[in-house]
Each structure stands twice: as C-alpha cells, then as structure tokens.
A = this chain, B = another copy of it.
Amino acid sequence: MEKKGTPLSELGEFGLIDHLTNAIKLQNDSSQLGVGDDAAVLNYKNKKVLVTTDLLLEGIHFNMVYTPLKHLGYKAVVVNISDIVAMNAIPKQITVSIGVSARYTVEMLDELYDGIRLACEVYAVDLVGGDTSSSLTGLTISITCVGEGDDETLSYRNGAKDTDLICVTGDLGSAFMGLQLLEREQKVLKEVGGVQPDFAGFEYLLQRQLKPEARLDVVKSLRDKNIIPTSMIDISDGLSSELLHICKQSRVGCRIYEERIPVDFQTAKLAEEFNMNLITAALNGGEDYELLFSVPLKYHDEIIKLPQVRIIGHITDESKGAFMITRGDETEIELVAQGWNGLG
C-alpha cells in the first residue's frame, strides 16, 4: 500500500483539484458548466432531474489491502450510477468529493481518478464538481450522481402489482463470494506472509467484487422494447432485502422460485469449497448491483428474449406474504432481510 510518491502538500488544495480535473471534457448537452466555479450548472430542459448520493469509507466499505485504487474509483462511480439506473433513468453527471490522509500521494490519487474517469467514459457521465480535503485517517469518497428521466418512464419501488413478473438481471451472489475469497487470501497472507494469492478459476468473482457494472444496458434494452417496469431497485444489499423493499412499498406479496435464481458456476463452486449455502449467498450477498424489477404479465414473451434478464417469480396479493419456493420439495420459506448493514 505505502509507496514513494509526490506528497499532496506539494500541490496544495487548488493545485490538486486542477491536477485531477484539468483533463476533463464535458460530453453531455445537459452539462453546461463543470468544475471551476461555486457550483456546476446543468441544463435539463423538460426532463426530470434524478439525484442520488453515496458515502464510501475506508475500512467500512473497502479494504485498501486488496482493493486496487483504480478499481475503487471505478466502483465508487458505478454504485451511484446504479441508483440512477434503478429508477429506469439515464445517468448524466457526477460530483466527487474525497478526503485523504497524508499517507496518500498524488500518484495514488491519479490511480483513483483513472478509475473514476474510466467509469465516466464507459457510462457517458460527466464529472462536474467536487471537493478535496485532507483527512486524519484513510480515504473517504462521497459521490453524487445526477441523471435524467421522464415521468412516463421512471420506475419507483411502489408500483408492483399482483400477477406482475419478477425479473432479475445477470447472476447473484458472485460479488459476495468474491469478497469471501479476498478475505480468505488476506488471512492467509497475514498468517503465512509473502505468498502470492491464488485466484485461478475465480477471476469472475473478483471482478464482480472489485469492478462491478451498473445495468444501464438493460435499461436501454427495456426502452428499445417499450417495456416500463412497474417497479425497480438495484441489488446492493441482497435480493431478499431488495424484494422486501418493493413488496413493502408496493403493498404486495411475492413468490420466487429457488431453481430460477441465476447463479454463476464459479459462485457455486466456491460456495461448495467454503461449505457455504449457495442460495443464502444469492439471496443475501450484497454488492451485485444487478437490477430487480417487475413487469406486467403481458410482457412475458418479450422479457424471455432478453439474454441478460431472468424471470424468477411473480408478485401476489399482500396477504400472501413474501416467500421463496425451494427446489425439489417446494417448501415455502419466508424471505427475511439479512442484507449488509453498515451500522449493525
């Protein structure tokens, strides 16, 4: 972690902001003015403005021992973009505030910003502002993402209706298993020391944990097909917890089928190796940033044509509760929120 480099004090606050932001080119029409004044100026014309924000703290949300700074910058942006996408909207701008202790160098922040800039490029988002400050301990990253939507196409958490299909994108539990893998290797490293970690065969899990993606592709696919989800949320705290949010806010129940929950081969393999329950990882493992959404039954034939989307169950009347039907014996197990809880 520690390395030689240029101390931040050499540039000073304004010098550092210039250094980190001078290469930025604005790409969205709605970005009228970016970094350099008291506030950014955005031009949203007759669109609705979406705003979301996330705070990431070293030692709580990320561990510098195994998180490359470039990946961290990328992920910090993606988790915010994911929240805009989860409204069925399009991300357009971010602001980035960082607090850094003296053990960080200019070169380290350059790596962090390389990841931030890469995410901006991949998702066509403009960095339009922020704040830079020293901190007493470690790294703090606060990102706000602004996006655009229309009243007609926004998806909230409260619109799911009885008989709607419940859909998820990608696969679940892999980011959680990636974290287990990284934590095991960190322990081995501490106890044995100097050993090169062996992640062979589990590269996908590491990527899911360290460099997740937001499902802007799915939002665009749904738009192409004129499908507007009746409810939508991104899976940051685990499928179970997020589905309960939708049920609670929509005043509905649900049935999902264990055998339909999408799980990757590497996730299954590592769960076996760790002697962990695979379906628990898929239900409660956080940080997948996949989308969970509901659509009216009539879209069934359209939805099954989308390769990134899987139908896992359906919405019911509220009185039926929220249950998963197990594989094989078809027992109904009540869903409970066991998501990550930063204050627990």
| A contact set with B: CB distance below 8 Å | 8-9, 11-14, 16, 32-33, 36-46, 48-55, 57-61, 83-84, 86-87, 89, 93, 95, 97-100, 128-138, 140, 142, 144-147, 149, 154, 156-158, 232-234, 249, 337, 341-344
Contact = CB atoms under 8 A, between A and B. Distances in A.
A129 B147 CA distance: 14
Given A40-B51, A51-B93, A134-B342, 5 more contacts: A13-B342, A53-B97, A57-B140, A132-B343, A140-B140
A149 B33 CA distance: 13
11 contacts: A12-B341, A14-B337, A16-B343, A36-B249, A41-B48, A44-B49, A52-B95, A54-B131, A57-B135, A59-B136, A132-B342
B136 A60 contact: yes
A11 to B, nearest CB: 7
Contacts of A48: 32, 41-43
B49 A13 contact: no
B50 A39 contact: yes
B43 A49 contact: yes
Contacts of A39: 50-52, 83-84, 86-87, 89, 145, 147
Contacts of A40: 50-52
Give the copy number.
Answer: 2
A58 B40 CA distance: 26
Nearest to A11: B343
A132 B58 CA distance: 15
Contacts of A100: 343
B46 A51 contact: no
B343 A131 contact: no
A344 B57 contact: no
A8 B42 contact: no
Nearest to A98: B55
B13 A134 contact: no
Contacts of A44: 44, 49
Nearest to A80: B39
B83 A38 contact: yes
A98 B145 CA distance: 17
